[in-house]
Structure 1
Amino acid sequence: MAVEQADVADRDALLAIGDRHDITGIVHLAGPHPWPPVPGSPVEETRRVLDGLLNIVQAAQEWGVRRLGIASTIGVYFGAANDGPLHEDTPLSMSASASIPAFKKVGELLGGFLAGVTGIDIVNYRISGTWGPLGHLDPFFAAPALVHAAARGTAPDLSHLMGPAFAEDGLDLSYVKDTGRAIALLQLADKLNHRTYNVGSGHATTNAQFIEAMKKVAPEAQIALPAGGDASHLVLDISRLKEDTGYQAEYDIERAVSDYLAWLRAGHQR
């Protein structure tokens, strides 16, 4: 295995990687800065994100890769009708309240157009709330911060969240090892029948359920959240993923918390 570092917005540096390695597939996980936005020019940030996407597509074309997978997000469903598990054909709102879903919607449209005119197999992966080793403190859900607090033996610092967290807030959560395996299955599948796939657990996990599982693993954790919250939880329909790849999750919340806590307590920072 080789590791190369390059800025995807630097086209020459990116394309040069293909001169040194035989690349057969690409998974493009980059995106805009998460909330809160980094101070600076929003126009320049937009240009960098779009340049990065276009450079990746150009690289895929020049390298002749088998498949280009582009990370989208469960956030594209914000504002959509939410009366059950969200299917890939669910009509999406044309607006977005944060940078990540805004750019991912644009990326899906561009990816679909470019797949049609270039012949590249470009596939969108709408990834749910993913958490675990090497992740960051997500602005949209509390789970990573709760595990970090348990590992430190402190109360959780939730100041990075876009809004206050309550016990009954919930989301389709997927442990990073399951998410990674799902993406690998999609990338390596001989044939995919769709252009877009949901990648998640297929069910909601509330903060209360997460804390209950965590206390089974770490009974000493002093983690609590106020009652209440939004009962309308985003849940992904992952039928396509299962049918086309045979995917099944391997980590329930309790096993995932145990694995992440062990990783953090071994001295890792994230």
Structure 2
Amino acid sequence: MTVLVTGGAGFLGHPLVRRLAGLGERVVSFDRLTRGSLPPSVTEVVGDITDGARLEHVLRTYGVTEVVHAAAVVGVTASVAGLPTAVHVNVDGAVALFEAVCRVGGVRRVVDLSSEETYGHFAGDPIGEDDPALPVSPYGITKYAVERLGAYYADQHGLPYAAVRLCWVYGPGFPRRRLPHPWLQDAAAGRASRLAQGGDQRIDFTYVDDAIDGILLVAQAERLGHRAYNVATGHAVDMRELAAEITKLRPDWRVDLGDGPIEMAPGVAAARKGALDITRARALGYTPRVPLSEGLARILADLEARHPLTQGSNP
């Protein structure tokens, strides 16, 4: 099989590309950037996700049989700062991909990387895939729009679509200033941290390796019984518990932490969250392997090995 990974140079796309190559698959990484130093079975193609003609050319040229769609403007903060761009890349880009796949044919499955932001304020804890989707952030709105469009293309044009809803994926090299990374950077550098509000925020932190495990199970399953799958750990912690885990690893680290929800951007409070119900993913064989304590330790080890310069902390 040949797997097309859109956003293949990104935080999640790049290790996914490498994992697929390690499994012996032929992979096409489609992104505006290149990474280089990849196995011979990986082809990097430079392109924009909104360029339908370019996508169609790639699908035909490389005989793509599976697609993992990871290209996006990612995160609440980025979507608030540049809403028109987020809509263009996330929604128009997904439509360009769906159109190209339907025109070319021959693709067995399209796995769309979605988000817990589609749920908005969680109606349950844990929350399941059939619970109400009422996104409150521009990012969540774009992701839910893509899911609904994917369902439309599936029903009307036979698009083999499935969504994987991820939750706060973290790991070494994470490119944005979102917890737990700023606190870990401070701890590695011997600095105290401060977060004016956020102690009550509950998050199902998912280590990048576990996220990739779940994505691959959805992509490679012989058949799927659902169009959406939560991939997380099934367990949420609040920010005080997160701080306690980091303190276990670095007892000298201190954090001044206020109450309430996290502010994702000035004046933009995060949605009320919790754990994701991963029963559907477990039925495919998914089991989270990296507990929060181990994931945090891996990131600290990576930071200390590279001796980065860090500044301050934000969610």
Query: Normalising by the residue count of structure 2, what TM-score does the alignment of the two structures yield?
Result: 0.73
Q: How far apart, CA to CA, are the structure 1 residues paired with 2:205 and 2:81?
A: 29
Q: Deviation of residue 216 (structure 1)?
A: 2.6
For 2:224, the equivalent position in structure 1 comes to 192
For 1:75, the equivalent position in structure 2 comes to 117
For 1:107, the equivalent position in structure 2 comes to 146
Q: Deviation of residue 149 (structure 1)?
A: 1.8
Q: 1:129 aligns with which of 154, 158, 168?
A: 168
**How many residue pairs were aligned?**
256
Q: Is the 8 A contact 1:136 1:144 kept in 2?
A: no
Q: Deviations over 1:55-104 (max 9, x none)?
A: 2113333152111011111111113523x3111111222xx432110101
Alignment of 1:209-228 (within 5 A): 209-220=241-252, 222-226=253-257, 228=259
Q: 1:117 aligns with which of 146, 153, 156?
A: 156
Q: Deviations over 1:93-133 (max 9, x none)?
A: 2xx43211010111111010101112121001111111112
For 2:275, the equivalent position in structure 1 comes to 235
Q: Is the 8 A contact 1:73 1:126 kept in 2?
A: yes
Q: Deviation of residue 261 (structure 1)?
A: 1.6
SS of residue paired to 1:86? coil
Q: Deviations over 1:202-236 (max 9, x none)?
A: 1111222222222232334x232425335x64211
Query: Normalising by the residue count of structure 1, what TM-score does the alignment of the two structures yield?
Result: 0.84
Q: Is the 8 A contact 2:79 2:86 kept in 1?
A: no
For 1:205, the equivalent position in structure 2 comes to 237
Greater strand percent: which structure?
2
Distance 1:129 1:44, change over 3 A: closer
Q: How far apart, CA to CA, are the structure 2 residues paired with 1:195 and 1:87?
A: 13
Q: How far apart, CA to CA, are the structure 2 residues paired with 1:233 and 1:52?
A: 28
Tell me which amino acid in the other structure corresponds to 1:49: N
Root-mean-square deviation (CA), in Å? Answer: 2.5
For 2:34, the equivalent position in structure 1 comes to none
What runs of 5+ residues in structure 2 fail to find an aligned partner?
Answer: 1-41, 262-271, 311-315
- Percent identity, aligned pairs only, is 26
Q: Is the 8 A contact 1:198 1:240 kept in 2?
A: yes
Q: Is the 8 A contact 1:31 1:100 kept in 2?
A: no
For 1:178, the equivalent position in structure 2 comes to 210
Q: Deviation of residue 253 (structure 1)?
A: 1.0
**Does 168-177 or 17-26 show the bigger shift?**
17-26
What runs of 5+ residues in structure 1 fail to find an aligned partner?
Answer: 159-163
Q: Deviation of residue 13 (structure 1)?
A: 2.6
Tell me which amino acid in the other structure corresponds to 2:210: D
Q: How far apart, CA to CA, are the structure 2 residues paired with 1:265 and 1:5?
A: 33
**Does 129-138 or 200-209 show the bigger shift?**
129-138
